[in-house]
A and B are shown apart, each in its own frame.
Chain A
Amino acid sequence: AQTVTQSQPEMSVQEAETVTLSCTYDTSENNYYLFWYKQPPSRQMILVIRQEAYKQQNATENRFSVNFQKAAKSFSLKISDSQLGDTAMYFCAFMHSNDYKLSFGAGTTVTVRA
């Protein structure tokens, strides 16, 4: 299984501020996909954003954006204008382009303070 590392177990951010979650991965392949999933207290896994490794442009979804550094094997998530509803655990995930396996990091718990 691929190694996906999220080095921040917990992060706290003030409402309306910005928080950045780090993720690094290990692979020798050139073609792959990266994802960020959100898991709120309801336990549901929700896709936040995805990135194809062959695309140089960083993906953006509303207040969520990524900083994809392929050479450094880094895939960080930035949450701008944080909202109380962003409180959740966030998982970084990796998938090879010709594989079925999603490898997840251990997760980062984000708490947004009012």
Chain B
Amino acid sequence: NAGVTQTPKFQVLKTGQSMTLQCAQDMNHNSMYWYRQDPGMGLRLIYYSASEGTTDKGEVPNGYNVSRLNKREFSLRLESAAPSQTSVYFCASSPQTYGVQPQHFGDGTRLSIL
């Protein structure tokens, strides 16, 4: 059981380039999330998807777009990468939108923008 799988694990981009981070979960979870983690800070929510076909903004959505392709997959796109988007990105999933059911995280994607 792989859980939450993120690709790629590392990526270096130039300013202005575009990039899509992929995330897939095999736990039949309804909800999926994208976070970013910056040094000295906890994870901050970028976007989330409560269920297939729905997406909503989190705390730091500017500069990003998402697609909930199906129940398994939730991608994050940077249309025009900026150095401020250098970060570690985590995808997570949970059985439901809220509640005590914990979120399960992928291993992260380290993204550097030059």
Q: List chain A positions with a Cβ less than 8 A from chain B.
A: 1, 4, 33, 35, 42-47, 50, 52, 91, 93, 95-107
Contact = CB atoms under 8 A, between A and B. Distances in A.
Given A42-B107, A43-B88, A43-B107, A50 B42 contact: no
Nearest to A35: B102
Instruction: Assign chain B's interface to a size class.
Output: 20 to 34
A100 B48 contact: yes
A1 B45 CA distance: 10
B43 A104 contact: yes
Contacts of A45: 43, 90, 92, 105
Nearest to A53: B100
Contacts of A93: 42
Contact of A100 (B44, B50, B102): B50
Nearest to B60: A1
A42 B58 CA distance: 26
Interface string B45-84: 1001010000010110000000000000000000000000
Given A44-B105, A102-B103, A107-B42, A97 B59 contact: no
Top 10 nearest A-B pairs (CB, nearest first) are A104-B42, A45-B105, A47-B102, A104-B43, A100-B97, A43-B108, A33-B100, A1-B59, A105-B42, A100-B98
